[in-house]
Amino acid sequence: MIDQETRGRILALIHKEVVPAIGCTEPMAVALCTARAVEQLGCKPEKIEALLSANILKNAMGVGIPGTGMTGLPIAIALGALIGKLSALCGCVVASTGSSVGIVYLMGGDYDRCCAAVKNMVANLTGMICDGAKPSCSLKLTSGVSTAILSALLAMEGKCVTSQEGIVDDDIDRSIHNLTAIGADAMCITDEMVLNIMTSKGC
């Protein structure tokens, strides 16, 4: 259990560091390029080298995980390669999962607690769709951030969703694979439906 003083410091840090965002355009653009390249390649690459413009690199720096020295770009590239094709899975699911792990790390959590945060996120946010709408993207990011904080706090108290529930597995790699499998395969039909709805609206 986290004492009140520590909890207060964590919340003060979060209020100071978390600012509103319109979206994660740059990492998602890089992930899309990687996904398209892997799709054309026809197999998973052993190594990926990405050449980025200064603007992409600069703008993506703000999407990093505070305190870890990592930006969203390497994660976006890896996930783009894993998923390998376009999907309706919202990018905030991935971004906020990384943020939850970063929050656990900042609170002094160990590897097991980081894994617990990932499992909590996979159990909670998997299935959130991307419909390409920027104002609602901000709302989805807010959901992602609040869920990331909740998942991190639960993980720090040693609480996480178990393999008895849904798509979560005891093995953390398998849990992540289950998430990416839903994004890569199961949500393709969802993507078609979202596009059909968007293109047939009367506005």
pLDDT digits (tens, 9 = 90+) for 113-148: 999 999 999 999 888 888 766 677 778 888 888 999
pLDDT at position 102 over 60: yes
- The residue-averaged pLDDT of 64-92 equals 64
DSSP secondary structure of 50-86 = ----HHHHHHHGGGSBTTTTB-HHHHHHHHHHHH-S-
* Contact assessment for residue 108 and residue 152, using Cβ atoms and an 8 Å cutoff: no
CA-closest candidate to residue 143, choices 188, 93, 193, 94: 93
Is the pLDDT at 90 greater than 60? The verdict is: yes
Which of the residue ranges 26-35, 105-114, 144-153, 161-170 would you say has the lowest mean pLDDT?
26-35
Residue with tokens 């639960």: 154
pTM given for the model: 0.64
pLDDT in tens, 14-61: 777 665 444 456 776 777 788 778 878 888 888 888 888 777 766 665
